Structure 1
Amino acid sequence: MIECYHDSMKLKEMIQNYIPFNEQEAKDKDFILQAMDVHEDLLHRSNPFMHFSSSCWITNQERTKVLMIYHKIYDSWAWCGGHADGEEDLCAVALKELNEETGVNQYRLLSDKPFSLEVLTVDGHIKRNAYVSSHLHLNLTYLVEADEKTPLILNKEETKGVKWIPIDLLKQEVREVWMMENIYQKLVNKMKGAK
């Protein structure tokens, strides 16, 4: 069973070694590396401009469905994920968020290396009765396989729903058009080539 890398490979080195899938990933990889050269506090939300986050792209064994949450802030079906909050092992962060947001604790991590990377815009929003200004997420995504028969749990603090969505219905379910067309569709395309 594959486990997260647990600091055996430092975050910057891992990103430097990442092979981009497309132009978006190539440009975002360069952006992230430049940001790491300029900012020292990218693992913490205290950096109001940008900080690291981590996501899971969760598929069933047949690669026909993905597990998504209905995110309250984005008002859309979305992947699982969250902030690094000081943790350098972003794989562990993604898996923790998977469990917290869906209840899934039995899964197969398909690689301890990122499956995808992206720089994402986050619009200003209210969280815990306080305004959070627009900022960037420097995001690493990990590919995870889970059994769609596993019982799911709704995390009412952050989500309005959790369910398996057939890949061919994603465009109908996801309300964030840019995310669907540029990130989720990319992940679907990459997943088709994943083992």
Structure 2
Amino acid sequence: MHRKPLLSLLEQHDAADANEQVMIHQTIEFVKKHPDCFDRSLGIGHITGSAWIVSPDREQVLLIHHRKLDRWLQPGGHADGDPDVAAVALREAREETGLTSLRLVSDAIFDVDIHTIPLRKDVPEHLHYDIRFLLEADPFEEFGDSEEITNIRWFSLNQAEKLIDSESIDRMIRKNTYN
């Protein structure tokens, strides 16, 4: 997969709301304008891949508490030049959770989000054009260790909604109920 397939996936993705539709359009324009969109050396922003991990019955979602950002989030990370964003999401989810039962539910994009990453040491403020995929995992499998996170937990959808004040997470919770 390279830029062209990502563009096709973005063009085929149905937005959940007007806000996501704007982010899809902005991401398409970003990918078209920057051949190096998968590389974080671009400076202004780059493509990232994330995993919305659910239990097979869709009643639970797995979230990680990110050490640097001090927030509960879905697993994910930098593409670092890899244009196969679904593979990036799966790789990052495995690295951050240690789960081996992870399974990509679909090759289709689950969600698109653009968010600002604040200035940190020598890395300037920049945007993450985050492409998210739906994954399933066994909620009884034990987690591994990762230096990037302080905690990993399964939450009911209601617990996650109450814990996290994020329109982005709320949108994925809403999508989870009809996927």
TM-score class, shorter-chain normalisation, is over 0.9
Q: Tell me, which stretches of 5 or more residues in structure 1 are unaligned?
A: 1-5
Q: Tell whether 2:76 aligns with 1:86.
A: no
Would you say the 8 A contact 2:161–2:173 is kept in 1?
no
* Counterpart residue type for residue 159 of structure 2: L
1:163 pairs with 147, 153, 172, which one? Answer: 153
Would you say the 8 A contact 2:77–2:89 is kept in 1?
yes
Q: Tell me, which stretches of 5 or more residues in structure 2 are unaligned?
A: none
**1:145 to partner: Cα distance:** 1.1
Counterpart position of 1:3: none
Q: Tell whether 2:115 aligns with 1:120.
A: yes
Alpha-carbon distance change, 96 to 142 in structure 1, aligned in 2, over 3 angstroms = same
Q: Separation in 1 of the partners of 2:157 and 2:28? A: 32
1:185 pairs with 150, 170, 176, which one? Answer: 170
TM-score (norm 2): 0.93
Q: Separation in 2 of the partners of 1:160 and 1:172? A: 20
Question: Identity, % of aligned pairs?
Answer: 28
Q: Separation in 2 of the partners of 1:94 and 1:46? A: 19
TM-score (norm 1): 0.86
Q: Give 4+ residue runs of structure 1 displaced > 4 Å after superposition.
A: none
**1:173 to partner: Cα distance:** 3.1
Secondary structure in 1 matching 2:57: coil
Would you say the 8 A contact 1:154–1:160 is kept in 2?
no
Secondary structure in 1 matching 2:41: coil
Counterpart position of 2:44: 49
RMSD, matched Cα: 1.7
Q: Separation in 2 of the partners of 1:166 and 1:19? A: 25
**1:141 to partner: Cα distance:** 0.5
